[in-house]
Each structure stands twice: as C-alpha cells, then as structure tokens.
Chains A and B, each alone.
Chain A
Amino acid sequence: MSEQQHVTIVMVEDDEGHARLIERNIRRAGISNAIRHFTDGSSALNYLEAAADGPALNGPALVLLDLNLPDMSGTDILARVKSNDRLKRTPVVVLTTTDDKTEIQRCYDLGCNVYITKPVNYESFADAIRQLGLFLSVIQVPEVEAKG
C-alpha cells in the first residue's frame, strides 16, 4: 500500500451523504489515501488543473466522478480531464446513478476508465464501493510527467 499512499483520490460528488458513505466504505476496504471532496464541478476542475497541490502540478491522482452536478455535467469534467495533456492519464472512475446506455457509452468514448452505477440498495452499494476500494488498492496510477 505504501506505494499508493501519495495518490490523492479526488471525489467530485454533490451529495454530501453519498460522499460520506463512499468515503466510509473506501476506508472500510483499507484504503487510507487522502480524499479531496468537491461538491461542484468548477472547484473540482480548478483543483485538478490549477491548484498548487493539485494533480496537474503535483503528484498522481485518481478521480471519482459523479455525473449529476449542480453547475456542470460530469461528462464535461471528464472531457476536460482527458483533453488535458498533464491529466489525460489520470484514471477516472465514473460513479453515478445514471444507467442510461448512451450515457455509459459516451463516458467510455470520452476516455473514462471505469463506469459504475450506484446501486440503490445500500448493501449492494456498500459492497460495490468496498470492491472499488480493493480495486484501487491494486491498480497502478501513472506519475504525472514533470513539466518541460
């Protein structure tokens, strides 16, 4: 796990409850990485692209993305991340309630790495998040290339 310690998990989720449940279940899976939570798209994008401690300038990250956000669509954030030279290799896990086929296809087309539909049933939800945590514990996140 030590290798993954410095990978920041950036969670973009407008629902505080969902965010809390996701965080709890990730922790229960034994993941202790820092989790940065944003409830709207613009501040999340700002952090990803421009913050001094953000992934574009400093260190690898993994994005947990909800599609239904108050200020913009999650797919817009996905497109921005995947078109940014410094961020395009950052893994993006779309975690949302939408199970619309065209929406799922669109996200994969835009370069999303994993698409997970939040199960309504909590047991399944908790299960899914814990499995996601286990998944996060084994995946390799590429280093952000140094500038220049």
Chain B
Amino acid sequence: MSPSPVDLGESARKEARAERVFNALVIGAMVLGFVTLLGVAATAATVLARNLNYTDWVAHTYRVDTAIADFRALDERIETARRGYLLSHDERFAAGVNQLKAQIGAQVDFLQKLTVDNPRQQANLVALRQEVAEQFKAIDVSIAFARGGADDSSQFFNDTGVASTRVIRSRADAMEIEEKRLLQARNAERLSSVRWLVTISIIAGLLLLFVAAGSIFVILRYTRDLGVSRAELRRLNVGLEDEVATRTAELQRANDEIQRFAYIVSHDLRAPLVNIMGFTSELEAAAKPLSSLLERAEAEAPAIVAEDARTAVTVDLPESIGFIRASTKKMDRLINAILQLSRQGRRVLAPEAVDMGALLSGVAATLQHRSNELGAEIVLSPNLPTVFSDRLALEQIFSNLIENALKYLKPGRPGRVDVSGDLRGGRVVFDVKDNGRGIDPKDHERVFELFRRAGTQDQPGEGIGLAHVRALAYRLGGTVNVESALDQGATFRVSLPLRLTSSEPSR
C-alpha cells in the first residue's frame, strides 16, 4: 500500500513536465491573443487613417467639381456679356467682359492648383487655358469689331467665339467626368478598405475566441491535474505518516523483544550461576577439613605429606576457588545489569507534562558533588521545552548521558557539559555536549551496545549505561545518537516526540 520512492520521483517529474507545458501553453496563448489584438488595432488604425484620407479626397473631388461648375458659369456669363455688348454697344458690358476675363483666369489658376496631383486634369487644364485664350481672342476681335461701328451680323456668324465656347463646355464636361471617375474610384477603394477591416476583425475575433477557448481548456485541464496531484500528495503524506508509525512500532516491537529476551536469558543464566556459586562455597567448605587434616598430618606424620598434595591444598585449591568466585561475581553483576535493563523495559510508562528545565536542573544538582570534585561545570541552556513523556525514563536518559560526560573528561582540560534542547517540527531535540576525550567514529555504534565500551578502560563500568539510554529512547518513541571525534568532545543527541502516545503493546 505504501508507495515506493520511485513512484514519488516519477509523479514529481510528471508534474513538473505538465507545469512546463502548461506555462508554455498559457504564455503562448496570451502572446497570440495580444498579437491578434495589436494586429486588429493596427489594421483598424490604418483603415481609419486611410478612410479619413479618402474622405479628404472625396471632399477634394467635390471642391474640384464645384470649381469646374463655377468656371462653367463664369464662361457662360462672359459669353452673355459679350453678346450683350454686341447687341447694345453698352460699354458696361465691355467692362463686365474684362472683369470676367480676370475672374476666369483666376478660376483656371485655382483649378490648376486644386488638381496639381492629377496629370490628366493638368493636361485638360493646359488645353482649357489655350481654348480660353482663343475664346478671349474671339471676344476681343468681336468687341473691337463692334466698337468700330459695324453692325454686321455676317461678322457675327464668322465669329469663332461660339465654337470655342462649345469646346470649352465639352472640356469642362470631360473634366467633370474625370472627377466623377476619381470619386467613384475613391469610393470603391474606401468601401474595399472597410470590407477589409470587417474581414480582419472577424478573423481576429475568431482567433481570439479560439485562443480563449484553448486557454480555458488548458487551465481547466491543469486545474484538474493539480487537484489530482494534490489528492495524490495527500495520500502520499498519509502513507508517509503511516510508514513512520509502522517504523516506530517496529522499533518498539524489536526493543520489546530484546527486553523480553534479556529477561528470559538473565533468569536462565541465573540458575546455573547459583549452582556454580553454591558448589564453589561447598568446595571451599570442604577444603577446610582437608587443610586441617594436612596440618595434622604435617604435625604427626610429616613423611606421608607429599609435596604436590600440600601444594594442591594450600595453593591450587584456594587460588582456583578465588578465580571462580571473582568470575561468578562479575557474571552476577552482568546478569543483574541485564535484569535491571529488562525490568526497566517492562515498567509501564506514565506520560505526563515534564518541564525539562526543572528535570535537568534536578539531574545536574544530584551530579553537583561529582562535578565539583572533577572541577567541571554543567551548563543548562535557558528556555528548555516542556515535553509530554515519561518522567522517570527522561531522568534516567539524561542522568546517564550527563554522568557519562563527566566520567570521560579529557585530563588536563576543565570539563564543561552543555545541555540544550529545542523544538523541531513535532519533535524535541536535546544535545548533551561535552569537551571530553571524545569517541572514535568507528565506535559510535558500539558504545550503544550492551557490555561494549570504547577507548581506554580506565573507568569502572559494565557498558550498560548507553544501551540503557538507547532502549529508553526507543521506548519513548525517540532516538539517540552521537557525534564525536577523538579528543574533540562528544555530542549525544536525543530526539523525542513532543507527545508520547502510548502505542505500546500491553503486557
């Protein structure tokens, strides 16, 4: 049920890949959207500018048209004025003619200026100017002729003025047609640009719609994936907690088994030990009548006392018994140590709120005499946390660790033991740090084993203390380990759960 780390890595990689793809897609969609909007705006601006331009041009065309119409009117009026003069010889008509001539010239100039952009109209104007000049000439001739007094209508019929007026009229028509053509062309262009704008807008709209739909799809899918991976993460988290709980339970079970084993072994070892010690005493007791017999024999019949018999009774027997006794006493101490350890393991833990500052001060106080003798000091860091655990077990753990620190000081260096503790997550980590002789890294595991010791064997002890500490730490759901190098002091680190939950099998 519990997922393997390979699965974890795989899912993390998958997630990272999905995130990269998602980011690329979203950024791509956003860029596409913005580019489209920009394109539409630019197109609209261009089309609008062009439309404004076209409107200007259309207006211009109308102005040209009006100017042509004005010219046409002036030209008709000069013809009328001429005819008036020819009929009435009224000089006011002649003056009118002259005035109109100037106006017509100005109008042609005006037209030329207006149509400076159009070579066709310019060509038309060049022709018009010539035709106007010819008309003027005809007008001048006919007026001069009339002023000469002739009232000859035949002359009138020879007049070229009428013909040139007609030519001018058709020229003006041509120019109007040209302007109309221009107008039509410009209108068509404007229409086509508007149509183009509409097309572009529709395409852009579709594109935006597509981008939006795509983005929403991607976001929805990503959100769903995110939900799935979050659920997965939750599951893994729960799995992890279960795994930690299982691991702790396993450790405790193993510890319990060792305790039970120790209990059985110590009891079973005790039985033969009682025999050895008992019969050794019996032997010793039996040796007494033997040695008094020897004394009597030496006193009464020294000849029968063989040298080897005497050595056996006076030297070998007591010596052997002495060695047996020393060994059995040592064995008795070891068995008692195991028994004590297993008895500790069978004690029912009673979790309670323990102020570690007060507890450690108490431990330091009981070791005060010892540390004073050694010239060492025990320094407790302020603000030690409060834990919910078994008071007696904690007391034993820390008195063992601090006692050890005092026991293995570096000769010639004033001893100092620092005890600190702080919260890390749901756990409390205590450091018991000394500046003593330290432990060779190869012995770091060994020192926690029962009956194993490290370094120079110059201190009394059976190698029980740290094994006891480790067993207790396991029982409290914690761990203990050491960081040290030879001559560098040692730091024993005890990590405990902030709250001891009694998950122990009932005994």
Contacts and interface: CB of A to CB of B under 8 A. Distances in A.
Interface of A: 15, 17-18, 21, 24, 68, 97-98, 118, 120-123, 125-126
A50 B279 CA distance: 35
Say whether chain B's binding surface is mostly helix, strand, loop, or mixed.
helix
B267 A21 contact: no
29 contacts: A15-B271, A15-B272, A17-B272, A17-B274, A17-B278, A17-B279, A18-B271, A18-B275, A18-B278, A21-B275, A21-B278, A21-B279, A21-B282, A24-B282, A68-B271, A97-B267, A97-B270, A97-B271, A118-B270, A118-B274, A120-B274, A120-B332, A120-B336, A121-B332, A122-B277, A122-B280, A123-B281, A125-B277, A126-B281
B274 A122 contact: yes
Contacts, number: 49
Given A120-B332, A121-B277, 6 more contacts: A15-B272, A17-B272, A120-B273, A120-B277, A122-B274, A126-B281
B282 A18 contact: no
A60 B336 CA distance: 39
A105 to B, nearest CB: 14
A17 B281 contact: no
A126 B274 CA distance: 11
A105 B268 CA distance: 21
B278 A126 contact: yes
B275 A15 contact: yes
A32 to B, nearest CB: 20
A98 to B, nearest CB: 6
Contacts of A122: 274, 277-278, 280-281
Contact of A125 (B267, B272, B274, B335): B274
A17 B267 CA distance: 16
Contacts of A68: 267-268, 271
A15 to B, nearest CB: 5
Interface string B326-353: 0000001001100000000000000000
Contacts of B271: 15, 18, 68, 97
Contacts of B274: 15, 17-18, 21, 97, 118, 120, 122, 125
A120 B279 contact: no
Nearest to B266: A97
Contacts of A98: 267
A17 B277 contact: no
Nearest to B331: A120
Interface in B265-300: 267-268, 270-275, 277-282
A81 to B, nearest CB: 23
Interface in B245-281: 267-268, 270-275, 277-281
Contacts of A24: 282
Contacts of A118: 270, 274
Contacts of A97: 267, 270-271, 274
